Amino acid sequence: MDAVIRVENLTHTYSVGTPFEKTAIHNINVNFYPGELVAVIGHTGSGKSTFMQHMNGLLAPTSGHVYCDGEDIFATKEATRDVRFKVGLVFQYPEYQLFEETVYKDIAFGPKNMKLSADEIDERVREAAGFVGLSEELFERSPLELSGGQKRRIAIAGVIAMRPKVLILDEPTAGLDPGGCEGIIKNILDYRERTGSTVLLVTHSMDDAARIADRLVVFHEGSIAMDGTPDAVFSHPTELTAMGLDVPQAAAIAQALRERGVSLPQSIYTLEQLKAALVPLRKGEN
């Protein structure tokens, strides 16, 4: 299958030529395929956000290339602008970018910049609001007077409304309560199922990564240290710990049980798998 996004030898250095020069990502090669849900994990400062901002042309590489649908997104100015609508990026703490008087207008900001017709914009706004579970009663409220979780949903809807082929979310659940986190993850899964778009999700939650991702990409000190199925990645707990990362709770519990002599299969990293492995054991004892 052809990759939607192909990244070749991507390097980015901040503040080149000053005393504060800092290479945030270094020589990255990776492909993302249509319909994938990829979780990107990595320690704080490992370069995840820097990397993501290259995918829609917000940061220009110091060296290397990014191709979207086979086209170099930095080849021309037009290409860089077009890719903004193809690859939707939701920033960390996106609620601080809300600015319009009403929720409706804020969600419509992206589609309006795409120069769509009024009807088309209206359809997209309603659809996007539906995806993130925002009721239409909120449309005429000011986004500034809503709760943090609602603001976050509005910001995500604002990006979804552009109907991007690739949706990138940078820690969409940071700072929300468990219920809020669960809600947003569910919205993202729904969205992906209904539209078949590619989703890249930056997260610090190993449990979420294990539960929902088809593929994990692990960043470490500006490079990709591991890339594979959750199964493959979480079967290297020592390496992950060395990189300052955890394994999912279910995997940690399974490991602790194994050390106490319970015989469990190797690939356990979600709660469901743990349950499936433990329940038969209890029946066996009885």
Of the ranges 48-56, 94-102, 224-232, 265-273, which one interacts with ligand ATP (CB under 6 A)?
Answer: 48-56
Dist CA 86 CA 66 (whole Å): 13
Residues 164 and 4: beta-carbon distance below 8 Å: no
Length of the chain: 286
Per CB under 8 A, 201 contacts another protein:
no
Q: How far apart are the first and last CA of the chain?
A: 50
- In this complex, which beta carbon is closest to Mg ion, that of residue 49 or of residue 198? 49
Per CB under 8 A, 270 contacts another protein:
no
Of the ranges 41-49, 118-126, 127-135, 153-161, which one interacts with ligand ATP (CB under 6 A)?
Answer: 41-49
Secondary structure of residue 226 in the 3-state scheme:
strand
Quick note: the x/- pattern for another protein over 102-141, rule CB under 8 A, is -------xx--xx---------------------------
Alpha helices in 3-147 (DSSP H): 48-55, 77-86, 103-113, 118-131
Dist CA 45 CA 245 (whole Å): 13
Of the ranges 27-35, 97-105, 123-131, 237-245, which one interacts with another protein (CB under 8 A)?
Answer: 97-105
Per CB under 6 A, 45 contacts ligand ATP:
yes
Per CB under 6 A, 42 contacts ligand ATP:
yes
Query: Which one-letter amino acid corresponds to residue 77?
Result: K
Helix (H) or strand (E) holding 199: strand 198-202
Phi first, then psi: what are they for 225, rounded to 5°? -90, -35
Q: How far is the CB of 36 from ligand ATP (least distance, A)?
A: 20
Position among 6, 47, 104, 152 found at the interface with ligand ATP (CB under 6 A): 47
Cα dihedral sign, 216-221-224-227: negative
Q: How far is the CB of 108 from ligand ATP (least distance, A)?
A: 29
Q: Where on the chain is the footprint of another protein (CB under 8 A)?
A: 14-15, 18, 53, 56, 58, 81, 84-85, 88-91, 94, 96-100, 109-110, 113-114, 144, 158-159, 162
